Amino acid sequence: MAAKFTPRVFSGIQPSGGLTLGNYLGAIKRWVAMQGPDFETIYCVVDLHAITVRQDPDKLRRSTHEVAAALIASGIDPEASVLFNQSQVSAHAELGWIFNCIARIGWMNRMTQFKDKAGKNAEKVSLGLYAYPALMAADILAYHATHVPVGEDQKQHVELTRDIAQKFNHDYGVDFFPITEPVIEGPATRVMNLRDGTRKMSKSGESDMERINMLDDADTIARKFKKARTDPDPLPGELEGLKDRPEARNLVDIYAGLSDRSPEAVIAEYAGAGWGRFKPALAELAVEKLVPISDEMRRMMAEPDALDALLARGAGKAEAISRPILEQVHDIVGFVRSRG
Ligand code: AMP
Ligand code: TRP
């Protein structure tokens, strides 16, 4: 990649319901790890994305506060990173429109998340849900972000972002947008449902028992792991032995993600252990890591004005980075910009 782009991280989470252990291990924990001298880090609560499906306005506000609180409680430092909600910075929607005119219908038709979410109902979902990946490209490229840490399910959307950047650069004969790298790393890039190891853990699954919420209390976390679906066999001595055991593999990956170890190291420690030993150890580890975060989240959510002030400050910083980039886009595209 051309050296002209500052190493810059951008990522987002939707305020569309309670956050899960999947969000924590697949995204938040890794966002925290990327803060530091190597990158400028920009993290966004993507409320424009959330309304691609119907959201109750009060719940949307509360979820926005919940996500902001979760990020800070997990270690995002609002001084070291830029932290804001998407709708307060209009560059996202504006560049999103321009990208709607760059992305091709054929590209959008290949998006597997749209196909999953729309299902048989494709005629009834919003136009926004279809255009959603072009808005995500705008989020990333409005900051010339070079790296995007996400869970495995977002890989295709980051690839689409690269295609949009490439087509824009090519069509206008410029070298303006960076070709962004997805960063999908660690043992828990795809945390699975606790009742069905072939499905992703998500905010919106039908049963609460299939996911761990970041706001679950210690008893609930322990109960959910105890009831998590497994198979009758003990843990094997090597990772290879988990090949056709998705539920078992998922619990090992969660343990690895929470303890910052490799799945191999976890298997080595628990080789031959039955679920009666492994599940309580996993529950204890999850409680140890998550409960201090949820305690802090609840404390912050009780002071929404303070969170609003933080988001306002973050939005100001985000605006300062994205506005000049958007002005250059207007010049490249040929929009008259006579207001300065
Ligand atoms: P979302 O909740 O769809 O806004 O997702 C926000 C971030 O969390 C994205 O980077 C997702 O890839 C990540 N994420 C969501 N669910 C999971 C999961 N089950 N496993 C790993 N990462 C996830
Ligand atoms: N689409 C992402 C998700 O559902 C959220 C998102 C929106 C995002 N804009 C982004 C992630 C930009 C990374 C970068 O998980």
Q: How far is CA 305 from the centre of its chain?
A: 25
3-state secondary structure the chain: CCCCCCCEEEEEECCCCCCEHHHHHHHHHHHHHHCCCCCEEEEEECHHHHCCCCCCHHHHHHHHHHHHHHHHHHCCCCCCCEEEEHHHCCHHHHHHHHHHCCCCHHHHCCCHHHHHHHHHHCCCCCHHHHHHHHHHHHHHHCCCCCEEECCHHHHHHHHHHHHHHHHHHHHHCCCCCCCCEEECCCCCCCCECCCCCCCECCCCCCCHHHCCECCCCHHHHHHHHHHCCCCCCCCCCCHHHHCCCHHHHHHHHHHHHHHCCCHHHHHHHHCCCCHHHHHHHHHHHHHHHHHHHHHHHHHHHCCHHHHHHHHHHHHHHHHHHHHHHHHHHHHHHCCCCCCC
Predicted confidence at residue 255, as pLDDT, reads 98
Number of other CB atoms surrounding residue 206 within 10 Å: 7
- pLDDT given for residue 3 in this prediction: 62
> Does 86 sit in the ligand 2 pocket, CB within 6 Å?
no
The alpha carbon of 12 and the centre of ligand 2 are apart by a number of angstroms equal to 5
CA 12 to ligand 1 center in whole angstroms? 9
CA 26 to ligand 1 center in whole angstroms: 6
Q: Which residues make beta-bridge pairs with 149?
A: 183
Structure tokens at 23: 């969000």
Cβ(203) to ligand 1 under 6 A? yes
Residue 191 beta carbon below 6 angstroms from any ligand 1 atom: yes
State the ligand closest to the CA atom of 193: 1
| 8 Å CB contact between 293 and 74 | yes
Q: Return the structure tokens found at 248.
A: 């078992």
Q: Does the beta carbon of 71 sit less than 6 angstroms from any atom of ligand 1?
A: no
- For residue 340, what pLDDT is reported? 76
Burial 21-32 (b: 16+ CB within 10 A, else e): bbbbbbbbbbbb
- What separation in Å is there between the alpha carbon of 251 and the centre of ligand 2? 25
Residues 68, 259, 200, 155, CA torsion sign: positive
136 close to ligand 1 (CB < 6 Angstrom): no
| CB 11 less than 6 A from any atom of ligand 2 | yes
Nearest CA to ligand 1 atom 12: 151
Q: Return the closest-CA partner of residue 210 out of 13, 63, 21.
A: 21
Ligand 2 pocket test target in 20, 117, 139, 191 with most atoms within 8 Å of CB: 139
In order along its 340 residues, the chain shows pLDDT tens digits of: 446 899 999 999 999 989 999 999 999 999 999 999 999 999 999 999 999 999 999 999 999 999 999 999 999 999 999 999 999 999 999 999 999 999 999 999 999 999 999 988 889 999 999 999 999 999 999 999 999 999 999 999 999 999 999 999 999 999 999 999 999 999 999 999 999 999 999 988 789 999 999 999 999 999 999 999 999 999 999 999 999 999 999 999 999 999 999 999 999 999 999 999 999 999 999 999 999 999 999 999 999 999 999 999 999 999 999 999 999 999 999 999 999 7
User: Which atom from ligand 2 is nearest to the alpha carbon of 157?
Assistant: 1
Look up the CATH number of domain 208-299.
1.10.240.10
For residue 202, which ligand has an atom nearest its CA? Answer: 1
Q: Is the CB of 157 under 6 A from ligand 2?
A: yes
Task: Give the nearest ligand 1 atom to 20 CA.
Answer: 16
Q: Which ligand number lies closest to the CA of residue 155?
A: 1
In the chain, CATH 1.10.240.10 sits at 208-299
Residues 277 and 21: their CA atoms lie apart, in Å, by: 21
User: Do the beta carbons of residue 301 and residue 65 sit within 8 Å?
Assistant: yes
- List the catalytic residues: 117, 200, 203
Answer yes or no: is the C-beta of 12 below 6 A from any ligand 2 atom.
yes
| pLDDT value of position 206 | 82
Q: What is the pLDDT of residue 304?
A: 98
Q: What's the pTM?
A: 0.97
> Does any ligand 1 atom lie closer than 6 A to the CB of residue 52?
no
CATH 3.40.50.620 spans which residues of the chain?
8-189+303-333
Mutation choice for ligand 2 from 8, 9, 14, CB with most ligand atoms inside 8 A: 14
Nearest to 221 by CA among 292, 170, 158: 292
CATH number (3.40.50.620, 3.40.50.2000, 1.25.40.10, 3.30.750.24) of 8-189+303-333 reads 3.40.50.620
- Closest protein CA for atom 9 of ligand 2: 136
Q: Which atom of ligand 1 is nearest to the CA of 201?
A: 19
- Ligand 2 centre and the CA of 145: distance in Å? 13
